[in-house]
Structure 1
Amino acid sequence: MTARTTHLDAEVRSAMLALSAAAKRDLGDPALAELVQIRASQLNRCAFCLDMHLEIARKQGVSDRRLDLVAVWEEAGDVFDERERAALALTEAVTVLTDGFVPDEVYERAAKHFEEDRLARLIALITVINSWNRLMVSRRIPPGSSRW
């Protein structure tokens, strides 16, 4: 599999970067934002985004143990707190919408841990990383590539 030559339009790239920044602003937890983006990227099989967000998370001090276990967060015991588990459950539900709507219990679980404005930003962040994943996967942009 090789990278495709289709470039990302500069205006679209700029808008996506601005949307990403807006979604993260005031979310209140940069490490959680990275965990969410890592989990969505795993589900979407986006090597470029996964590689990038793992690197960012490491720079923020997220432990290798937590990064290793994010793919199996439900079985990871107390490695993730209830707030993180709620965010990861919401990430999976929003990312895999082909299974139907986001279940009420998943949304309500997240709403218990995030004020309304932060919940809206969390959902926006999940939506944005899913868009980035689709852009990168469809163009087959490899991890670490500067061609995006």
Structure 2
Amino acid sequence: MTQRMNIYKAAPEVYKTVLAFSQAAGQGIDEKLKHLVLLRASQINRCAYCIDMHSKDARHAGDSEERIQLVAAFDEAPEFFSEKERAALALTEAVTVLTDGFVPDEVYNRAAEHFEEKELAQLISLIAAINVWNRLNVTVRTPGGHYKPGQW
């Protein structure tokens, strides 16, 4: 696939704004959990650039290969993910997919049991932010495979 454009060079103010939003959204979220959430949403959205980035950043942050490989099946691998992480990943899937047009109460309530209100607000914002990045990158076909850990 050929990259259609470098949207970040074509619209640098959009890039700066989305980056600032992403950085604000990620504040206070555990580093390993943050990368797992970003990776899972990117897998769902089939964003090669972001899958590459967040799997490398997860490794760089000290997460295990098993957890990175199993994040797509987090509920079937409870020995690798805490209940809090599984609740966050379930929320990630629900917010990312929105197949029914809403986030089910049971998914939201599951997350709310493990996160205080401010942290939950940060988590929801982080999920929204990665979905923006994914949609931008997938649309313009930003290629994966070239990211260096900690680059951004």
Interval of TM-score (by shorter of Structure 1 and Structure 2): over 0.9
- Does 2:35 match 1:11? no
Work out whether residues 59 and 65 of structure 2, in 8 Å CA contact, stay in contact via their aligned partners in 1.
yes
Aligned 1:113-128 pairs, distance under 5 A: 113-128=114-129
- Does 2:2 match 1:2? yes
Match of 1:63? 64
Q: Give the letter aligned to residue 25 of structure 2.
A: A
Compute the TM-score of the two structures, normalised by the length of structure 2.
Answer: 0.92
Counterpart Cα distance in 2 of 1:62 and 1:119: 22
RMSD after superposition: 1.2
SS at match of 2:68: helix
Q: Give the letter aligned to residue 101 of structure 1.
A: F
Match of 1:88? 89
Counterpart Cα distance in 1 of 2:146 and 2:39: 17
How far residue 74 of structure 1 moved from its aligned partner, in angstroms, is: 1.2
Q: Give the letter aligned to residue 37 of structure 2.
A: V
Counterpart Cα distance in 1 of 2:92 and 2:127: 6
Counterpart Cα distance in 2 of 1:138 and 1:41: 13
Give a deviation string over 1:67-108, Cα, whole Å, max 9, x none. Answer: 010011111131100000000000000001133210001000
SS at match of 2:99: helix
Q: How many residues align?
A: 145
Match of 1:26? 28
Compute the TM-score of the two structures, normalised by the length of structure 1.
Answer: 0.94
Report percent identity of matched pairs. 59
Q: Give the letter aligned to residue 13 of structure 2.
A: E
Counterpart Cα distance in 2 of 1:13 and 1:34: 20
How far residue 6 of structure 1 moved from its aligned partner, in angstroms, is: 4.8
Counterpart Cα distance in 2 of 1:124 and 1:140: 24
Farther-moved stretch of structure 1 (75-84 vs 86-95) = 75-84
Counterpart Cα distance in 2 of 1:7 and 1:86: 33
Counterpart Cα distance in 2 of 1:71 and 1:61: 18
Work out whether residues 6 and 142 of structure 2, in 8 Å CA contact, stay in contact via their aligned partners in 1.
no
What runs of 5+ residues in structure 2 fail to find an aligned partner?
A: 148-152
How far residue 53 of structure 1 moved from its aligned partner, in angstroms, is: 0.6
